[in-house]
Amino acid sequence: MDKLVLRGIGISRRPLYSACPRWGFRWPTQQRLAFSFSCSSRLAADATTHPKLSDTPCRTRFAPSPTGYLHLGSLRTALFNYLLARASGGQFILRIEDTDQTRLVPDAEEKLYEDLRWAGLSWDEGPDKSGPYGPYRQSERLPLYHEHADKLVGEAKAYRCFCSPEALEERKRAAHESGESTLYPGTCRGISPEESDDRARKGEEFAIRFKSAEESASYKDLVYNIFKKKDAEEDFIIMKRDGFPTYHFANVVDDHHMKITHVLRGAEWLISTPKHIELYRAFGWEPPQFGHLGLLVGRKRQKLSKRDNSSDLGFYKRGHILPATVLNFVALLGWRAPPGTEVMSLRDMVDKFSLNFTKGDIVVSMYKVPYFQNKHLQRLVESNDPADAPLIQREFLDPIQAAIQTVQQAKSNGDAIAPGSDVQTAELGDPLPAAAILHDARFRPDLVRVLLGFPLSLDTPADRFASAVGKLRYYLWQVPEGVLERAVRDGKLDPVVAPPAAAAKLGEAVAYLRDKFHAVVEEGGGGAWHREALERVMRDAMVDQTTYCKFFEGGSKNNSQQNVYLPLRWALLGLEKGLPISATMEILGRDETLRRLDVARRAADKAAVVNVGVQVPTPSSP
């Protein structure tokens, strides 16, 4: 058996074909082929050069079969064809290849449209968009295939095969057992046209086979350069006994009539392309330019399973991974972007697109997905583009609201801890109506900052929304007075509030700050309540040696920053770490901030009474 020539095509990681002693060579990620073959592929001497984009508009197509759902590999194929069309000012066509009627999945076609739209890959012509070369569903193009098959039969370039599937299978089994070739031996090739016509008229079932050339066709691939199989093709079927075309035949006829100029597809189709070239030559048509993309494999070089998270598009959608993240991740699986441009929007990809593809298998590793997700989420929120509002709602706000509802439901049910969260429901007060952190677009960057503080799990990416809700609980619910009082009694404010007798001073400090913040509103009006003005109040308190600093003479050795920030974080958030205090007050708003400071004053006074039995002054109204 001839060995495969691979050195010339620059595949250093894994050969295109692997040896199987019983069945001959086979594509490593496909089912066993029932025939053996060898092939050779040699590149030009300069393997670092890559074809340039066409100077004329390219017509590309994505032609999935609705026998399953869109996965990572097929999305990558769609993306690269989309990018080539858009980068050249051409058209991107969607064609549904539904000739295998026995394997159709009822909702696969509609799901395909949904997934492509989710990804932002719009098509110019397709089953749902009229165009000059429709229809765009192969089952609706049967007369065209029959016309062209009959033409080949009439020109003696194809013939009717009356062999039954059972007879063919039995012949293949016997040939395999005896060590002979399992290729179709051309049994019906010698039947005269007259006999063939007569048997067809009498209703005898038949398929139509193409008369393959004695030598396999070669072609120049955009990725692998010159490709040629060593062995000739068998006489392959172009029209099945059920009257439907095979993939190979319909593919060629449709690409020609739809004026497709470039075909980018998975490298598993390398070995089939010589068949397509022969068909183009038989019709006298100019074939499109072909480019075959390296196969996506797992870390152990195994074929990606449809059950793998990395391959399942539904995994990304359920985890609220942004479409831009998925496209960015997929684009770099076999395409080399210009240096320093790793994070790309779809528009960026169009602008930077080239035919600089990697040869050989592509190992899919998801370790960069969290990085891309964080970058694209920041970009999305900071863009302030009204067109992005539905996407922000669906992929960012909706999952946060769902996590909030889960916590609130657990609280209403009396559950101690919300499912999927570490939030203790007993430590939550009443929910804040229309919480600004969630509903005010000005605070989206703050919300994103909290969310990105939690790592994105590659197993359960949606989990960090629940984690963020836990972190933000006091931006969404009120802080119970008992939580504040308990924090003082348990020494959680040490060393600022130490010894416990200083709790009374804590209440006075909070009242002082409350008056200062209220003055901001009185002096500047409601519009003065912003983080810069609030930060100035806190800085003034830090240097107020005559009044404020005296509240903490027995505390943290006059750490003026901690003397201000820690009491406020306690009063406003129950000591929960998170956003800066000035940002917290701006988000909570004037009324809620002042209300919480009043509650904190009462909690501090109660803690002082419990701890040392001291008399505390009655809070004065502002």
Phi first, then psi: give them for residue 26, nearest 5 degrees: -150, 155
Q: Determine contact, residues 219/287, Cβ cutoff 8 Å.
A: yes
Who's near 14: CB < 8 A, 6+ residues apart?
28, 297, 301, 360, 361
User: Given a cut of 70, is residue 257 above it in pLDDT?
Assistant: yes
Domains of the chain by residue range: 59-294, 386-476, 481-612
Q: Helix, strand or coil for residue 240?
A: coil
Cα separation, 205 vs 521, whole angstroms: 90
Does residue 433 have a cis peptide bond before it, meaning omega lies within 30 degrees of 0?
Answer: no
Residue from 345, 341, 352, 351 nearest 383 by CA: 345
Phi first, then psi: give them for residue 257, nearest 5 degrees: -70, -25
Total residue count of the chain as it appears in this document: 622
Beta pairing, strands 362-363 & 296-297: parallel
The alpha carbon of 75 is separated from its chain's Cα centroid by a whole number of angstroms, namely 9
> pLDDT tens-digit profile of 186-232?
999 999 999 999 999 999 999 999 999 988 899 999 999 999 888 88
3-state secondary structure 287-349: CCEEEEECCEECCCCCECCCCCCCCEHHHHHHCCCCHHHHHHHHHCCCECCCCCCCCCCHHHH
Residue 31 burial by CB count (10 A; 0-12/13-18/19+): exposed, middle or buried? Answer: exposed
User: Given a cut of 80, is residue 425 above it in pLDDT?
Assistant: yes
Q: Determine contact, residues 464/457, Cβ cutoff 8 Å.
A: yes
Residue 501, pLDDT score: 56
Q: Is the pTM of this model over 0.75?
A: yes
Residue 472, pLDDT score: 96
Does residue 135 have a cis peptide bond before it, meaning omega lies within 30 degrees of 0?
Answer: yes
At 363, the amino acid letter reads V
CA torsion angle 63 112 75 79 (round to 10): 70
Q: Helix, strand or coil for residue 596?
A: helix
Cα four-point dihedral sign 555, 557, 560, 562: negative
> pLDDT tens-digit profile of 582-615?
999 999 999 999 999 999 999 998 988 765 544 4
The band of 498, judged by pLDDT with boundaries at 50, 70 and 90, is low
User: Given a cut of 50, is residue 237 above it in pLDDT?
Assistant: yes
Q: Which residue has the tokens 């933000």?
A: 472
Residue 29, pLDDT score: 36
Q: Determine contact, residues 166/205, Cβ cutoff 8 Å.
A: no
3-state secondary structure 445-498: HHHHHHHHCCCCCCCCCCHHHHHHHHHCHHHHECCCHHHHHHHHHCCCCCCCCC
Cα four-point dihedral sign 134, 140, 141, 147: negative
Cα separation, 13 vs 1, whole angstroms: 23
List residues bridging with 237 in a β-sheet: 209
Q: Determine contact, residues 122/91, Cβ cutoff 8 Å.
A: no
Cα separation, 423 vs 416, whole angstroms: 8
Q: Determine contact, residues 439/589, Cβ cutoff 8 Å.
A: no
> pLDDT tens-digit profile of 75-88?
999 999 999 999 99
87, two tokens: 């980068």
> pLDDT tens-digit profile of 91-130?
999 999 998 888 999 999 999 999 999 999 999 999 999 8
Q: How far is CA 191 from CA 161, 199, 202, 212, 294, in A?
A: 9, 10, 16, 16, 42
Residue from 341, 345, 296 nearest 323 by CA: 345
Fold agreement (59-294, 481-612): no
Q: Determine contact, residues 599/507, Cβ cutoff 8 Å.
A: no
> pLDDT tens-digit profile of 542-559?
887 667 777 765 544 556
The domain 59-294 is classified under which CATH number: 3.50.30.60, 3.40.50.720, 2.60.120.1440, 3.40.50.620?
Answer: 3.40.50.620
- pLDDT higher at 24 or 382: 382
Cα four-point dihedral sign 152, 156, 158, 163: positive
Residue from 483, 477, 476, 474 nearest 600 by CA: 483
Mean per-residue pLDDT, 405-417: 94
Residue from 373, 456, 438 nearest 587 by CA: 438
Residue 46 burial by CB count (10 A; 0-12/13-18/19+): exposed, middle or buried? Answer: exposed
Residue 25, pLDDT score: 31
Q: Determine contact, residues 138/254, Cβ cutoff 8 Å.
A: yes
> pLDDT tens-digit profile of 505-514?
888 889 999 9
At 611, the amino acid letter reads N
Please give the sequence-ordered ranges of beta strands (E in DSSP) within 168-244, or none if there are none.
Answer: 207-210, 218-221, 225-229, 237-239
Query: What is 481-612's CATH number?
Result: 1.10.10.350
376-401 as b/e, with b when 16 or more CB fall inside 10 Å? bbeebbeeeeeeeeebbeebbbebbe
Cα separation, 408 vs 430, whole angstroms: 10
Please give the sequence-ordered ranges of beta strands (E in DSSP) within 477-582, or none if there are none.
Answer: none
By mean pLDDT, which of 138-142, 357-361, 393-397 is the weakest? 357-361
The catalytic site residues sit at 306
User: Given a cut of 80, is residue 497 above it in pLDDT?
Assistant: no
Residue 419, pLDDT score: 85
276, two tokens: 């397509």
Cα separation, 572 vs 479, whole angstroms: 7
- Cβ count near 481 (within 10 Å): 16
Residue 12, pLDDT score: 30
> pLDDT tens-digit profile of 340-392?
889 999 999 999 999 999 999 999 999 999 999 999 999 999 988 899 999 99
Cα four-point dihedral sign 537, 540, 546, 551: positive
By mean pLDDT, which of 165-174, 415-424, 488-497, 547-556 is the weakest? 547-556
Most confidently modeled of 28-37, 53-62, 496-505?
53-62
- Helices 108-119 and 323-331 pack at an angle, to 10 degrees, of 90
The band of 4, judged by pLDDT with boundaries at 50, 70 and 90, is very low
What is the percent of the chain where pLDDT is above 90? 68
Q: Determine contact, residues 227/235, Cβ cutoff 8 Å.
A: no
Computed over every residue of the chain, the mean pLDDT equals 86
The band of 337, judged by pLDDT with boundaries at 50, 70 and 90, is confident
Mean per-residue pLDDT, 12-39: 33
Cα four-point dihedral sign 270, 272, 275, 277: negative
> pLDDT tens-digit profile of 465-484?
999 999 999 999 999 999 99
Who's near 247: CB < 8 A, 6+ residues apart?
97, 99, 100
- pLDDT higher at 336 or 547: 336
